[in-house]
A and B are shown apart, each in its own frame.
Chain A
Amino acid sequence: MWHCFQRGLAGSSGERYNTAMALASSLDPYVDRASPVHALDARVKLALTLALVLALALVPAGRWLALATIAALLWWAILRSAVGPGLILRRAFIAAPFALAAMTLAFTRPGAPVVTLSPGPLTITITDAGLVAFVAVILKTWLSVQAALLLMATSRFTEVLGALRSLGLPSMLVAMLGFAYRYLFVLVDEAERLLRARESRAAALPGRRTGGTIAWRAEVLGGMVGTLFLRAYERSERIHAAMLSRGYTGEWRSLPARPLTSGEQGLLITGAALLAAIVWLAHWR
């Protein structure tokens, strides 16, 4: 399904989501593995992931020991998770393009100059404070993505939804997320068919400019978006009718969430306390 249109489509976004979807489908095998991290309740994992990401944001730039301690905690969990550490470390580079924006920190923060580059008429001075801020942002981003990857590679999506419900997300939003996840892949297939249809009707020689003005191309794409909307809408009408015929009344019923065991509560409290201590030490020591 992926290889069909990887070649023809010029453009970052389409290819990006192709790879993103391929990545997501290839995270699925890891969800079924057995490890202490997999066995842990998704509510605990979600809460600890959020706490870890928050702790990373709270560590001031330049406190490398604090960052290293948080990284050690995270990597300890990754090593126990039966999900290859290489996989998570590699895939965590997904936010790398955005890191370019952080590069500007290196020469806009005031501080002692480290290197002065002068490409052409420009003069760029990299400062020590700027460099520290830049490296800190990159490391924080990298570690945060790893934490999110670990959560999603060791929990089923439905478990994460249940955890979000327990955290107080309105049931309407939880239900919408569940539906969106269920039909995401169906509609992406639909979009792929639209793209393939356009591709097969738009011959182009390699290296040659394809026809039409930008406005015309946008109009074609707008037509495709409108068509996709109509197909999605009509599909949702069929789904709704099928649900009504099975007794759907607009209410969402689920089994009540079981209370956390004392072991899980202990892990949650210990983890949160450790992270809080690291942040506290980073600020005041």
Chain B
Amino acid sequence: MTTAQLQQGFMEPVHDAQQAFRTLMKVMSEPGLLRTLNQADGIAPMSPAAVTTLLALLDQTTSLWLSRSLSTAAVCSNLSFHSGAPLIDDPAIADFAIAVPAELPELDRLRIGEPDYPDRSCTLLVQVEQLATEKNTAASTGLRLSGPGIPGQRTLYLSDPGASLLRYLVARPDPFPQGIDLILLAGDCVTAIPRTTQVEVI
């Protein structure tokens, strides 16, 4: 690790972390809602929203798995420095996993919690190219979401999130309340699809 790679995390560690956490609570409780998350700067190739989410959620007791292209020296040294989270090689034991669509982990290997402790599951973060409420050329995959936190239905458009992820979201193979929660990130934009949400691909 060279010293040149370290950069500032949150400017105001307490307030920024709280604001980021509040935003994540909001998108988790109202799935498909888009919110801005940019309290921390991005660390190429990781977007500001991804860095902010990780800095707000990680600490020494939560392990993180990074997909190959996100696992650069700069990202690893900064995340270790600011959060102290152990970075691990095996997604099957990770508390958090972050990936780009082309490098998704095998979703059936991620932790889904236990029937008595469904909270002991992996939270999957996927950094996509774009998230939008309207269909456009980049965000061409449409998802129709319904379930708790959504009045009626909500539609979400995003760039290709990877075929295995779409299959997982539509099929929901894990026995509820077990499952994985998904946070989608693009630039400084965030949304979430928790395990309670039913997903249809439009």
Q: Do A and B bind each other?
A: no
| Residues of A that sit less than 8 Å from B by CB | none
